[in-house]
């Protein structure tokens, strides 16, 4: 199994500022995923991050708003830029356990509140 940590666990930020969320995995993984979970909602995939290449963004998410870094096989960051109250969500990173499309391990999430 993979152990995933995220920093910060929660934050309260002012609108117009940016926050960078870190995701650390205890083993090397090829693909990392970033999800957003708005209050009371399900998870929506923001982007998929491969080491050494640009992240692949889902419809409705753009790099300028959610820049992602993937400098090595155990680490990734997601930045939420120019925040507004609508960005208040839980942000989660995950990795695959094995085969593509199989089970994923999730980090504990970052609870972001934008005032």
Partner 1 sequence: SQQGEEDPQALSIQEGENATMNCSYKTSINNLQWYRQNSGRGLVHLILIRSNEREKHSGRLRVTLDTSKKSSSLLITASRAADTASYFCATPGWNTDKLIFGTGTRLQVFP
Tokens at 66, concatenated: 């959610």
Nearest-angstrom CA–CA distance, 36 and 14:
19
| DSSP assignment letter at 102 | S
Tokens at 25, concatenated: 């995995």
For partner 1 (CB under 8 A), the number of binding residues is 27
Binding mask 21-50 for partner 1 (x = CB under 8 A): ----------x-x---x---xxxxx--x--
Residue 85, classed as helix, strand or coil, is helix
Closest CA to 91 of 20, 30, 28: 20
State which residue, 16 or 36, has the beta carbon closest to partner 1.
36
C-alpha dihedral, 26 to 32 to 38 to 44, nearest 10° = -150
State which residue, 38 or 84, has the beta carbon closest to partner 1.
38
Binding mask 48-87 for partner 1 (x = CB under 8 A): x---------x-----------------------------
Least CB distance to partner 1 at residue 90 (A): 6
Task: Give the interface with partner 1 as residue ranges (CB under 8 A).
Answer: 4, 31, 33, 37, 41-45, 48, 58, 90, 92, 94, 96-97, 100-109, 111
């Amino acid at each position: 199994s993979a152990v995933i940590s995220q920093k910060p666990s929660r934050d309260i930020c002012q609108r117009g500022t940016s926050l960078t969320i870190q995701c650390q995995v205890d083993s090397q993984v090829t693909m990392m995923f970033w999800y957003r979970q708005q209050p009371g909602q399900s998870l929506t995939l923001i982007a998929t991050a491969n080491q050494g290449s640009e992240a692949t963004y889902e419809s409705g998410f753009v790099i300028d708003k959610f820049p992602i870094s993937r400098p090595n096989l155990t680490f990734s960051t997601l930045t939420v830029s120019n925040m507004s109250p609508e960005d208040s969500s839980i942000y989660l990173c995950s990795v695959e356990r094995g085969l593509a499309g199989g089970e994923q391990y999730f980090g504990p999430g970052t609870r972001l509140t934008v005032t």
